[in-house]
Amino acid sequence: MAGYITIAEARAEGIPVPPAGPSDVQLQAAIDLWSRFIDRACRQWFESRSMTIMMDGNSSDTLFLPVPILTITSLYINSDFTTVLDPKYYEVYNSRELPDDRPNPRLKMKHEKRDIFAGTYWEDYPLFAKGQRNQKLIGTFGYLEPDGSTPLMIKRAVMKLISKSLMPMYSGFPAPPVPGGPVAKETTDGHSIEYAIASGAAGGMLGIVGDPEVAQIITMYRAPLAMAVPESYEWAV
């Protein structure tokens, strides 16, 4: 990855050229570093990446993915890695508008029945059989806006992190202390006040980014945790 903002974008936002600011090499290194941090903190990425993903089957008709789907080129199921499944048998949930499938990316088998008015369809359809790494997906993945761009809030988070990490070295002033988290209570001169803490920003994250806004952006774009789903069993009769 080349980073979620460019050197030109960073300069346009106020990062000066040397000697008042970092060199292009230093700036690119910071862009790469903080872009990778955003990936790690959000548990997903914000560009198009082509890859092969191996997933565990769950004996159901739905396969949930950890990152939004852009395209599926090939799907191999149930340990048969030589036969590409015909796309007519499954639906790809990859909409970036309405409905927005990015928070819940998945593949779902189509289940058609015979209809005397519309013609004949297949009745039997495959499931994602239970197993370890027995489902193979080839395609492109990433959290992108409808126009294919990186979300502006992600770009803003990277820009703020770069500025906070680089500019104190050139301003002549030390970087401000990084807070361990939001202030919950203050006591002075016999008086105290306790603040309500917004649930969106994790205090632990503030210890790294040092900026409540960036912590909130990370919370907004963090991928949902993977959850177990009930299995569907096929009983022999």
For the chain, 237 residues long, give each residue's pLDDT as a single digit of tens.
779 999 999 999 999 999 988 999 999 999 999 999 999 999 999 999 999 999 999 999 999 999 999 999 999 999 999 999 999 999 999 999 999 999 999 999 987 655 555 554 445 668 899 999 999 999 999 999 999 999 999 999 999 999 988 877 776 555 555 555 556 667 766 667 776 555 444 555 656 777 899 999 999 999 977 555 555 444 333
Q: Which of these, 51, 29, 41, 83, lies nearest to 206 by C-alpha position?
A: 41
Report the C-alpha gap between 170 and 111 in whole angstroms.
Answer: 62
The first and second tokens of residue 148, run together, are: 């294919």
Report the C-alpha gap between 97 and 99 in whole angstroms.
Answer: 6
Give domain status of residue 162, yes or no: yes
Give domain status of residue 59, yes or no: yes
Does 209 lie in the same domain as 157?
yes
198: left (phi over 0), alpha (psi -120 to 50) or beta: beta
CA dihedral 42, 46, 51, 53 (to 10 degrees): 30
Does 158 lie in the same domain as 135?
no
Does 136 lie in the same domain as 177?
no
Does 84 lie in the same domain as 38?
no
Give domain status of residue 230, yes or no: no
With b for 16 or more beta-carbon neighbours within 10 A and e for fewer, the 2-25 pattern comes to ebbbebeebeeeebeeeeebbeee
Give the pLDDT confidence score for residue 165 in this predicted structure.
87
Give domain status of residue 231, yes or no: no
Give the pLDDT confidence score for residue 118 in this predicted structure.
54
- As for how many domains the chain has, the answer is 2
Contact between 222 and 151 (Cβ < 8 Å): no
Q: Which of 114, 141, 168 is the last residue of a domain?
A: 141
Does 38 lie in the same domain as 110?
no
Report the C-alpha gap between 88 and 112 in whole angstroms.
Answer: 10
Does 69 lie in the same domain as 21?
no
Contact between 195 and 185 (Cβ < 8 Å): yes
The first and second tokens of residue 83, run together, are: 């036969």
Give domain status of residue 236, yes or no: no
Does 53 lie in the same domain as 137?
yes
Domain containing 182 equals 7-45+150-221
In single-letter form, the type of residue at position 159 comes to: M
Q: Which of 141, 158, 179 is the last residue of a domain?
A: 141
Does 168 lie in the same domain as 154?
yes
Does 91 lie in the same domain as 22?
no
Does 13 lie in the same domain as 59?
no
- Alpha carbon 161 to its chain's center: 18
DSSP string of 87-136? GGGEEEE--BSSSB-TTS-EEEE-----BTTTB--------B-SEEEEEE
Q: Which of these, 213, 21, 203, 19, lies nearest to 7 by C-alpha position?
A: 21
In single-letter form, the type of residue at position 188 comes to: T
Give domain status of residue 2, yes or no: no
Give domain status of residue 228, yes or no: no
Does 177 lie in the same domain as 121?
no
* Contact residues for 218 (Cβ-Cβ < 8 A; gap 6+): 38, 41, 42, 157, 205, 209
- Can you give the length of the chain in residues? 237
Give domain status of residue 135, yes or no: yes
Does 207 lie in the same domain as 161?
yes
Give the pLDDT confidence score for residue 81 in this predicted structure.
96
Give the pLDDT confidence score for residue 92 in this predicted structure.
97
